Amino acid sequence: MSTELIKVTINEQEFEVEKGAKLIEVCREKGFGIPSFCYYGDLALQASCRMCLVRIEKMPKLQTSCTITCTDGMIVTTQSEEIEKAQRAMSEFLLANHPLDCPVCDRGGECELQEMVMDWGDLEERFVERKNAQPEKFLSPIVANDPQRCILCKRCTRVCDEWMGEEAIEAGNRGVNTVIGTYGGWLGCSQCGNCIEVCPTGTLLDGVYRHETRPWEMDQTRTTDVYSSDGMQLSIGSRGGEVHRIVARDRYVNGLNGEFLDVKARFAHGFINSKDRIKTPLIRYKKGGKLIPSTWDEAIHFVGSKLKESGNNVGVVASSRLTNESIFTLKRFATEAVNSNNYAVSDAYDLAPFFDNLSAPLCTHKEIRHAKTILLIGGEPEEEQTFTAKQIRQAVRNGGAKFIVVHDTPIRLAAQASQFIHVNKGSLDAFALAFADQSDATITKKLGAAQTEIDDLLKTIGETEGDFIIMFGGDLSAEAQAVLANVAGSFASDTRRALLHPLPLYNNSVGANDMMAGKKPLEEVLRTSKALLIAGSLPEDKTDLLANKDFVVVQELFETATTEYADVVLPAASFAEVDGTFTNNAGFVQRVRKAIEPIHQSKPDWVIASMIARELGADFGYNFSSTMVFKAIADSVPAYEGLRYPLLKDESKPVQAKYSPVAKRDLSNEFAALRRKVEALPETSEKITETPRVGHKLHRVTTMTGKTDQFHLLAAGNPKPENLLVSPLVQFNLDGTPRLVEMAEAASVNVKDRIDDKETVASKVVLK
Amino acid sequence: MEIKAIGCEPLQLKRVGMKDSHTLKVYQETGGYESLKKAMNMTQDDIINEVKASALRGRGGAGFPTGMKWSFVPRQSPKQKYIVCNADESEPGTFKDRYLLELDPHSLIEGMLIAAFALGSQACYIYYRGEYRYLIDIMDKAIEEARAANLVGKNILGSDFSCEVYTHTGAGAYICGEETALLSSLEGYRGHPRMKPPFPAIEGLYASPTVVNNVETLTSVPQIIEMGGEAWKKLGTEKSGGTKLWSVSGHVKKPGVYELPMGYADMEKFIMEDCGGMRRPDKKLKAVIPGGSSVYIMNAEQIIGKNVTLDYEGLVEAGSMVGSGGFIVMDETVDVVESTKNLTEFYKHESCGWCTPCREGTDWLVKIFNRISIGEGRPEDAQLLLDICDNIEGKSFCPLGDAAAWPIQSAVKRFPEDFKKWLLNKTNDNGYTANV
Amino acid sequence: MSIITDVIQSTVAVIKGMRRTLAEIPREKWTVQYPDDPITVQPRYRGMHLLHVDENGKEKCVACYLCAAACPSDCIYIEAEDDPRPYEQRVGRDERFAKVYNIDYNRCIFCGFCVEACPKDAITHGYNFEISVYNRSDLLKTKNDLLITKQKQSKNYRVALSSEDVDSEYKEV
């Protein structure tokens, strides 16, 4: 946007505004309220709600301010009798067929229609005719829909189209019968729920939070997502120690992701208050015995005495889902309490090669949105780093960015790509080598792609003016990652900035890598230690290694495969119950805030670790406050130097950890190893031609997501019930098989049971 | 059914009535495609200037000067330019284009080719109304005939001008007669109107410069080229040249399509003499909708003895509009409340649902009319109707909202007696006079 | 002071007092012989709340929390729940209903704001006024205590007829 200033007169006051600014934004910024429904800053213009009408001199009719770009000398009136009449008329029209069932509507209390009508509407209702009644129904286990409440602002369809690229919902029918509908009447999308978020009325509703409480009853806590590494900012709505819902609504939180969240971040919060949470410390006094509930004092004492026996053969494993504070304390536990260098992170994807060879700055999500060229090697952001995927989509769609995908699978995002290099199965390493070392043309044979494709790619990069971003995921080998991270910096030029973006799997993978400097590979730690302190669970294929250990302590939320080997299980607090920080894949250090008190007797992981440490005679100097832990982090981790909680307070201005690009290292060993790996690849290999199913990773049932029933249905293929009026959760077992009795019962639920105006039983209403 | 010209030589209706008038042979025998040849020897600017000089105004309803519309097209733009013929003739009371499409398809093809040549376009689309599907065969045959004669396709008449003509049908939506909605529909999207600006002349079909013209507008073009713009203009008035087709229906003896010169004097004479007068001689003239359903309805006092001229300015002066020339005559047996209800139901059914006032407003209006028609009307309903119409008019996204509001506004204002009967007495007799 | 004046003064005092007493005897009595006789309450008396049901016995409350929001002493606690069954089988009139509806009469000030706020006419003030208990925790009334179908109405009140002028009677005193 140009910085040229022009003069605009609004309500007889003159303002200087940037050229090309939208009139509605300018008016709102200058303090002249303008109501609107269909206008949404990030989406395509619609101009259909007609609420934002203003009078502009020299224009014949009232104009929609959302579609007007400011021009020099424009004279605008936003408040006059004529405009007020128009605004009142529009809100009257909108309310004409809108049911006044606010008491049962889950949006009541934070509904934009309510607010607009209160502020701009008429007191009196002249509409005395019968409303067009339609029943409330389900579009999926997660999305409920009340078409009658719809004001057809089409934010949902635009979000689905522009943010998610899924086009799962669209308007059907015409005129007053227009409804927001789906193809086949059932949502088969990734269930991100962004349509629910942007809906200004109660038309699209959260099926997980359905009829649980009301917005003003809840405490809203700003915090960070616990699933994806994008570090999306969200707001936890809790009431009386119970988490009811998670939203990113901009009235509660204003993070880097705006109102964007994905299905896990938004809906998979059932684990927090799950009845399966471990309630008290559990001790297995005898190997092969039962876990017996105990007290904290006894458990800590027991752990202390057993660990003393093991001396410095104690290994410490931290999950990369934990906060920086917890991981840092666990590392200190290893080095200071048990004097051991055996510490590791239980992450399948080690980021050390990436950060050790960082030759270019980390890119932020905003930079992805405005990038000129994006190169994605492996990974599947639309399933794992959903916000990154959204930014890529918008960069391509709205910013005209070139997007190049190198992948062995035609992932969904590849449909947006300007160039898709489809390589052989498992040969991404070969691409990394070919990309870093362009001298060797024989590699392309292993790749299954023509040399011209790589030439085209390099040409595109060479022509880029602006930001060039390389992203890659954990499906490359460590050597390949090191090589790619190292080579990225060499693409920078005077007109081009090269940026790197990792695609880690967990919310705090980056932080775990920072906190556990000098960590060892997970397997090595598991093999060499006699006793283990494990925070979080191990990947299931690694749990066998825990057999025959002298002593295993596990800090967990739930009983998992790992706790089966544990001698002591200590109840840990979930992310909603602790204060701390997560570091996302853009290096932003963002706050995690305590929304509810720890459930049952659970404690934050860092408190547990420091309690055990004190039992062993090591005092870390912090007992109660995570602020002190973070100060200790800032003092000892270089990238976090100078950071304090108050600096991280404002989620709209996230603070990036200071990762300095390292000098180019000699990577001949890595190159050699990579070359060996590539040479071992088969010459010919069949390509994967099938695009993976939507949600094949997002909808996976894990220890955490599995506590939200809806995810079981999604994982079971999201079956469509006979009667859409009743939640599919009632009609199906969790494995997706029909519950015949309940289904028959649900079949007796008719339209009359689901509409507010009981007299208007629209026999004509047909469910689509 | 009369199809004839009155007060002028038949131009549009020249070939109507001839045997096999839809064939290329007949068309060429009567001077067809001569204009194209003539035009291809002219420069592009000359053609546009000629059309400008003719004062040809769009015959679809809005009456925008066609030459001006053409001159907005950036001919230097590297993008493809498109000529789109709006044959989505859905306005109630209008059926003139149907006869042109059925009986004289080649004149449309010729008009489009001249327009395409003038604007440097290589593709023309004819967007048929869904209900006119049966007419497509005639046009397709005509295009094939023209192609065989090297009049359509590559290197037309041996020149380096190539142009293709395609036909396409809508699926039966009135809104697709609005030019931007037509373009959306043509592209395969929902038939929703688009935001203006950008105007179609700059970014229309597939975001390329596009001219959307009515059938009658395009069939006038060959005549203009043949006669010269000035001569053609002289047929009509200073501001709107040429002749215009009127589709006359309703309570007249001889309904049909009439070709009248612009500025034809006296509407009363047209109804009472040219159209044969009222169908039932003992019934008096009550109302006339002169330009298709979406213009102001006129009552008898506005017509009889007022010397209303039939052109754009004359009808505006008389309190209505030319619109698309759908001339609906009603005698005193017609209840204007019922006829307005009928029209409002049409607009409710055809509202696309994009913008609030049109979508909800038309639904509300219909509900009020339904209530009135079962005898539940209330005296304040008249004011309510006017107020709702006022709230729709000028605030909707596209002109459909205005079109829905105008007939009701004028009906309430010009036929208060009918409304009084319904709102106060709930019946059709007894003149209870209260202030409606 | 002599004894005689003392006696005289006392006698005068007794006579003065008895005159008042004797004068009151023939006049109309205001005292209600509670609990033998019922108390007359005004039609708009704000007693213990009642939760209403519709004509088919379905609870009218939809757990919209507006009463709780309006309550100045924060004494109403609700937990809402979804009931997907058909109308005939469910407890509430609507598919949303109050699983828990508690009023804490330790805190309630009987202001009637909850009644004003209710969009479904589900809660009103009843006439039961004898809510004193021996244990404070018994003042927490649940849905079972409040539902009109469950709440036992006391015999100790009589609702004044609307024609009765209860107010002015009290004003005289």
CATH classification at residue A437: 3.40.228.10
Helices (H), A398-497: 428-436, 443-447, 451-463, 478-487
CATH code of the domain containing A603:
3.40.50.740
Of A94, A124, A158, which residue is a domain's last? A94
pLDDT bin (cut points 50, 70, 90) of residue A1 is: very low
**A220 closest CA partner among A195, A194, A243, A197:** A243
Mean pLDDT of A445-468: 89
Say which residues have a Cβ less than 8 Å from residue B311's Cβ, sequence separation at least 6.
B236, B237, B239, B240, B244, B262, B263, B264, B322
Domain boundary among A69, A94, A119: A94
pLDDT at residue A227, as a whole number: 94
pLDDT of A15-50, one tens digit each?
Answer: 999 988 999 999 999 999 999 999 998 899 999 999
- Which residues share a beta bridge with A468? A373, A498
Hey, which residues 331-390 in chain B have their CB within 8 Å of chain A?
348-357, 359-364, 367-368, 371, 384
CB distance C63 to C98 below 8 Å = yes
Q: Do A50 and B355 touch (CB under 8 A)?
A: yes
Range B115-146 burial, b when 16+ CB lie within 10 A, else e: bbbbbbbebbbbbbbeebeebbebbeebbebb
Per-residue model confidence as pLDDT tens digits over B375-390: 888 899 999 999 999 9
Domain count, chain A: 3
**B342: Cβ contacts below 8 Å, ≥ 6 apart:** none
What is the Cα–Cα distance from B425 to B430, expressed in whole angstroms?
A: 8
Residues of chain C with pLDDT under 50: 172-173
Q: CB A53 to CB B395 under 8 A?
A: yes
CA nearest to B223, candidates B11, B58, B49, B26: B11
For residue B151, pLDDT beyond 70 = yes
CB distance A228 to A386 below 8 Å: yes
DSSP A251-298: TT---TTTT---HHHHH--TTTT-TTS--S-EE--STTS--EE--HHH
H or E element, residue B390: helix B381-392
The distance from CA A264 to its chain's CA centroid, rounded to whole angstroms, is 7
The count of other CB atoms within 10 Å of the CB of residue B81 is 22
Report the distance separating Cα B351 and Cα A177, nearest Å. Answer: 10
Same domain flag for A489 and A521: no
CB-CB neighbors (< 8 A) of A746 in chain C = 84
Nearest Cβ partner for B353 among A94, A132, A178? A178
Please provide the distance, in angstroms rounded to a whole number, between the alpha carbons at the two ends of chain C: 40
What's the gap in Å between the CA of C114 and the closest CA on chain A?
14
Domain boundary among A94, A118, A150: A94
State pLDDT tens for residues B176-232: 999 999 999 999 999 999 998 889 999 999 999 999 999 999 999 999 999 999 999
**Cα A381 from Cα B240, distance rounded (Å):** 61
Please indicate whether, in this complex, the C-beta atoms of C82 and A753 are within 8 angstroms of each other. no
CA distance A98 to chain B (A): 10
Tell me how far CA of residue B268 lies from CA of B5, B261, B274, C86, in angstroms: 17, 16, 9, 65
pLDDT at C140: 96
C-alpha neighbours within 13 Å on the C-beta side of residue C51: 28
Does A390 reside within a domain?
yes
| Residues A330 and A382 placed together within one structural domain of the fold | no
Give the nearest partner residue to C65 out of A217, A752, A756, using CB atoms.
Answer: A217
Is A144 domain-assigned? no
Helices (H) and strands (E) in chain C, counts: 5, 7
Task: Determine which helix (DSSP H) or strand (DSSP E) holds C55, and give its type and residue range.
Answer: none
Which of B2, B3, B410, B13 shows the shortest CA–CA distance to B243? B13
Q: Do A748 and C79 touch (CB under 8 A)?
A: no
d(CA B99, CA A49): 39
- CA-nearest of A533, A531, A534, A561 to A548 is A531
CB C52 within 8 A of CB C148: yes
> Per DSSP, which regions of B14-140 are E strands?
82-87, 123-128
Residues A516, A498 share a domain: no
| Inter-chain Cβ pairs, chain A and chain B, closer than 8 A | 89
Residue A110: is it exposed, middle or buried by C-beta count within 10 angstroms (0-12/13-18/19+)?
A: middle
* Inside any domain, residue A489: yes
pLDDT at A610 over 60: yes
Assigned token pair, A570: 């200590």
Place of tokens 């130097």: A641
Write out the residue range of the structural domain in which residue A87 sits: 5-94
Closest CA to A374 of A413, A345, A409, A344: A413
Partner B contacted by A525 (CB < 8 A): no
Q: What's the pLDDT tens digit per position in A550-590? A: 999 999 999 999 999 999 999 999 999 999 999 999 999 99
Q: How confident is the model over C117-161, as pLDDT tens digits? A: 999 999 999 999 999 999 999 999 999 999 999 999 999 998 888
CA proximity to B423, closest of B385, B383, B379, B386: B379
A92 touches chain B (CB under 8 A): yes
| Residue C169, pLDDT score | 53
Task: Let me know if chains B and A touch, i.e. at least 3 Cβ pairs under 8 angstroms.
Answer: yes
Cα separation, A447 vs A514, in Å, equals 34
Residue A302 in domain: yes
The CA distance from B354 to B350, in Å, is: 11
pLDDT of A764 strictly over 60: no
A575 found inside a domain: yes
Retrieve residue B389's tokens: 């119409």
Chains in contact with A, counting 3 or more C-beta pairs less than 8 Å apart as contact: B, C
Helix, strand counts (H, E) of chain A = 24, 28
Indicate the residue of A108, A211, A746 with minimum beta-carbon distance to C82. A211
Structure tokens at A506: 């967990």
Task: Say which CATH topology domain C39-159 has.
Answer: Alpha-Beta Plaits (3.30.70)
Mean pLDDT score, A78-105: 92
pLDDT of B52-98, one tens digit each?
Answer: 999 999 998 888 999 999 999 999 989 999 999 999 999 999 999 99
Helices (H) and strands (E) in chain B, counts: 18, 10
Residues A24 and A70 in one domain: yes
Mark whether A534 and A626 lie in a shared domain: yes
Mean pLDDT of A392-405: 94
pLDDT for C168 equals 55
For residue A35, is it within any domain? yes
Task: Tell me how many degrees the CA angle B271-B276-B281 measures, rounded to the nearest 5.
Answer: 95
pTM of the model: 0.91
Task: Note the pLDDT of residue B348.
Answer: 95
Mean pLDDT across A487-512: 93
- pLDDT tens digits for A164-190? 998 899 998 889 999 998 988 899 999
Chain C: nearest CA to A751, how far in angstroms? 10
- What are the tokens at A543? 């749990």
Q: Nearest CA to A515 among A655, A315, A344?
A: A344
- Residue B87 · residue B48 · CB < 8 Å: no
Strand partners, C92: C59
Q: What is the distance between the alpha carbons of residues B147 and B145, in angstroms, rounded to a whole number? A: 5
Q: A237 lies in a domain?
A: no
| Contacting residues of A for B173, CB less than 8 Å apart | 174
Report the residue of chain A nearest B353, measured CA to CA: A175
* pLDDT value of residue B427: 61
CA A30 to chain centre: 33
From the number of C-beta atoms within 10 Å of its C-beta (0-12, 13-18, 19+), residue C43 rates as exposed
Instruction: Enumerate the residues of chain A whose CB falls inside 8 A of the CB of residue C96.
Output: 104, 211
Residues A515 and A613 in one domain: yes
How many residues does the structure list for chain B? 436
